[in-house]
Chains A and B, each alone.
Chain A
Amino acid sequence: MIAQSEMTDLRKDHSRKADEGAQTGACDLPDAPLAMPLQRLESGWLAGWAELFRGGWRVHPPADGS
């Protein structure tokens, strides 16, 4: 059977080749973060009434999802 060390070597070799610009390889995901703000799913009318009673009235969720 293929030894665990051989598999590890294979992956390391793959990553190295990817780092060198090879087309294949690089098992690890690239570090390229992208913001994914949480969306608001409150009920339009329920949340609207709750906010009305709290003294405010916001029609649209904040763009940043906060």
Chain B
Amino acid sequence: MSAADTGRNVEAHPQAEGAEPGRVIALRGLAIALSLVAGCAAGVMFLQYAAATRLSHWAWVAAVLLSFSTAWLAWGAMLGLIGLAPSRVRVPEAATISGRTVVVMPICNEDALITFARIAAMHRQLAGCPAQVDFAILSDTRSAEGAAREEAALALLLAETGADAPEGGGGRIHYRRRSENIGRKAGNLAEFIRRSGAAWDYAVILDADSLIEAETILRMIRRIEAEPRLGLLQTLPCIVGARSVFGRAMQFAASFHGPVFTRGLMRLQGETGPYWGHNAILRIPAFAQCCGLPELPGRPPLGGHILSHDYVEAALLARGGWIVRVDADLGGSYEEAPENLVDHAKRDRRWCQGNLQHSKILPARGLRFWSRAALFQGIVSYLSSAFWALFLLTAVLAGLWQSAPDYFPGVVAIWHDRVGFLPVFPRDESLRALSLLVGIFGLLLLPKLLVMAEAFLTGRSRAFGGAGALVSLLAELALSALIAPVLMAYQCRSILQILSGRDGGWPANNRGDGQLGLAEAWAASRFITLWALAALVLARAYVPDQLPWLLPVLVPMVLAPVLISLTSRPIPGEGCFLTPQEMEPPAIVALHAGIVAGWSGPQAQSRTGAATGAQAIAKTGALTQ
């Protein structure tokens, strides 16, 4: 069945590309131009600093790398600045819902009880809603034990949602497990659409750790119904449930800064917005029509199945003439995030490979300009770590090749019939170096400080603990500065692995408490410590005068195992990194917690009239995972 056969939702499908409004194009041009100016200024200042003695080839290379890296930082700052002003746009929503919706959760080797409880929570909230909203759990779990746990959790889910009470529940619940997980997550969803996609008009796509309030789901449906050209609507998921220092710092940063940066992105998106792979609603016929992903030519890591499929799907929908949009004002959308740096780095390894794969898609025929720009940004976001590392390396090499100052370059003076050489002292460029440093840190800090000002002026900070938000913000900045070199090292290793042909695969996410001992942290990060120690020894031997500049990067790298282990532990006290969702847990999160507790507790026994499904899962190990 083609999209044209699916009825009312396809009639308004535009055949021609919608033009981007002039305001959006002007804003994009301004943001790009200012970023490039900042990058060029940094490069020129570095060259002026290096020219105080003698410009080596390494100094030129370092200047180019610094220009790229600074331009990228400036681009991030632009998103923050553009998003500072509050949004007053009212997005149209359909008064009544006529389309059929399915909430789709692709899973693979997840904790079945906790994952299926999320479906139960959303199902219960949607009970009696003015729309047909079904659920589909699409499993790619391969192991027999994992499958058994899912079967047991499904039994609990069906009991919870009214398998024995036909009048209960918010819609049908479907579950299927593939025997072969071809194409991974994108292939899982594609198989579902090819097999059953015509049964629904819209699909709300979730991750295994996603939760969306019923009210938000209904608003998403109303918005996609109100705009017939809308192919995909992305929400901004808010991170919840973090317990560790690392997790809660990320959760705070995402909650505090995320809405502003997303608003900036929203103002630049035009009709070619982003898709982050989950917590979004898509128009199934449009998606089916445009998003059948082929394998990329060549072998993994750059060829084969597309790993970061979401950006590509957004680009293909836009190529097909559909609007892709992120609505930053849609609340009630939640996800979880890694609890420690190692899990974060593991996920980042997969994203890095996926984004570098996009280099093969970047020149694809017919893509719209901003889609290419989004793919390019994804690639640069990973390459920027390598650029920073290479900049540090080449700046050190430039220092190594620096000649001693020539105090008598041949300036002749005649004084009282005597001829002599005048000494010429090199210019002191340390002020310029300091200005450069301040400028770069300014690009990093200014948007965050402005977001803080916005939060205090608008009263948004009250939801983050009032004055405590300031402490959280400063603590998050300090922690970010400490872990940034460690993350840079992980990303550099990922890039080296990918360029040398190593496929990272698709490791399952760890969603436990994530605490790491020192031994585990050492095993995961000893290469960072060893790299940094080697750099320290070499710098001490050959460029001792540059050592103070390198210490802020090298010391956190040397201490990487300690940092990783310490930040994976629960945060002492409740005050720091407080988020609105912690002060007042969202209804859907509280409901999910209640269902998990119920399924894990003795009262679950009465639900099926027999022993509990939770016990069944415990027998097969899920509860001890």
Find chain A residues with CB under 8 A from B290 CB. Answer: 39
How close is A34's CB to chain B, nearest CB, in angstroms? Answer: 3
How close is A44's CB to chain B, nearest CB, in angstroms? Answer: 4
Contact yes or no, A1 B363, CB < 8 A = no
Chain A, residues 9-20, CB within 8 Å of chain B (1/0): the string is 011011001100
Judged by a CB distance under 8 angstroms, whether B154 is at the interface is yes
Contact yes or no, B163 A33, CB < 8 A = no
Judged by a CB distance under 8 angstroms, whether B294 is at the interface is yes
Selecting from B86-94, B553-561, B613-621, the interface stretch reads: B613-621
Number of interface residues of A (CB under 8 A): 42
Find chain B residues with CB under 8 A from A45 CB. Answer: 363
Find chain B residues with CB under 8 A from A55 CB. Answer: none
CA distance A30 to B200 in the complex (A): 10
Contact yes or no, A35 B2, CB < 8 A = yes
Judged by a CB distance under 8 angstroms, whether B196 is at the interface is yes
Chain B, residues 145-182, CB within 8 Å of chain A (1/0): the string is 00000011011001101111011110111111000000
Given A10-B155, A32-B198, A34-B285, are A1 and B611 also a contact pair (CB < 8 Å)? yes
Judged by a CB distance under 8 angstroms, whether B610 is at the interface is yes
CA distance A13 to B176 in the complex (A): 17
Cβ contact of B198, chosen from A6, A10, A27, A34, cutoff 8 A: A34
- Residue from the set B169, B196, B618 with the largest chain A CB neighbour count within 10 Å: B196
CA distance A34 to B191 in the complex (A): 10
Contact yes or no, A61 B166, CB < 8 A = no
Judged by a CB distance under 8 angstroms, whether B419 is at the interface is no
Which residue on A lies nearest to B284, using beta carbons? A34
Given A2-B610, A11-B154, A36-B193, are A25 and B172 also a contact pair (CB < 8 Å)? yes
Contact yes or no, A2 B616, CB < 8 A = yes
Find chain A residues with CB under 8 A from B197 CB. Answer: 32-34, 36
Number of interface residues of B (CB under 8 A): 60
Judged by a CB distance under 8 angstroms, whether A37 is at the interface is yes
Contact yes or no, A2 B611, CB < 8 A = yes
Which residue on B lies nearest to A46, using beta carbons? B363
Interface residue ranges of A36-66 to B (CB < 8 Å): 36-48, 60-61, 65
CA distance A12 to B380 in the complex (A): 51
CA distance A41 to B174 in the complex (A): 33
CA distance A33 to B2 in the complex (A): 10
Contact yes or no, B364 A27, CB < 8 A = no
Given A1-B619, A31-B195, A33-B198, are A44 and B155 also a contact pair (CB < 8 Å)? no
CA distance A37 to B289 in the complex (A): 7
Contact yes or no, A7 B292, CB < 8 A = no
CA distance A33 to B206 in the complex (A): 21
Contact yes or no, B163 A32, CB < 8 A = no
CA distance A50 to B296 in the complex (A): 17
Judged by a CB distance under 8 angstroms, whether B288 is at the interface is yes
Judged by a CB distance under 8 angstroms, whether B199 is at the interface is yes
Which residue on A lies nearest to B168, using beta carbons? A24
Which residue on A lies nearest to B312, using beta carbons? A41
Cβ contact of A30, chosen from B199, B611, B618, B619, cutoff 8 A: B199
CA distance A48 to B365 in the complex (A): 9
CA distance A43 to B610 in the complex (A): 60
Judged by a CB distance under 8 angstroms, whether B23 is at the interface is no
How close is B4's CB to chain A, nearest CB, in angstroms? Answer: 10
CA distance A7 to B618 in the complex (A): 15
- Residue from the set A11, A36, A37, A46 with the largest chain B CB neighbour count within 10 Å: A36
Cβ contact of A33, chosen from B159, B196, B291, B615, cutoff 8 A: B196
CA distance A33 to B618 in the complex (A): 37
Which residue on A lies nearest to B364, using beta carbons? A41
Interface residue ranges of B277-319 to A (CB < 8 Å): 284-285, 288-294, 296, 312, 316
How close is B135's CB to chain A, nearest CB, in angstroms? Answer: 10
Which residue on B lies nearest to A37, using beta carbons? B292
CA distance A16 to B316 in the complex (A): 40
Cβ contact of B158, chosen from A25, A28, A31, cutoff 8 A: A25
Judged by a CB distance under 8 angstroms, whether B12 is at the interface is no
Judged by a CB distance under 8 angstroms, whether B194 is at the interface is yes
Contact yes or no, B167 A23, CB < 8 A = yes
How close is B510's CB to chain A, nearest CB, in angstroms? Answer: 27
CA distance A47 to B199 in the complex (A): 37
Chain B residues within CB distance 8 Å of chain A = 1-2, 6, 136, 151-152, 154-155, 158-159, 161-164, 166-169, 171-176, 190, 192-199, 284-285, 288-294, 296, 312, 316, 360-361, 363-366, 608, 610-613, 615-616, 618-619
Chain A residues within CB distance 8 Å of chain B = 1-4, 6-7, 10-11, 13-14, 17-18, 22-48, 60-61, 65
Report 17 cross-chain contacts, Cβ distance below 8 Å, ordered by A residue. A1-B616, A2-B155, A10-B608, A11-B158, A24-B162, A24-B166, A26-B173, A27-B173, A27-B175, A28-B174, A29-B174, A36-B289, A36-B291, A41-B361, A47-B365, A60-B366, A61-B366
**Additional pairs, 20, CB under 8 Å, beyond known A30-B174, A44-B366:** A1-B616, A1-B618, A4-B151, A6-B608, A7-B152, A13-B164, A23-B171, A29-B176, A29-B195, A30-B199, A32-B196, A33-B195, A33-B197, A34-B1, A34-B194, A36-B291, A38-B292, A38-B293, A39-B291, A44-B364
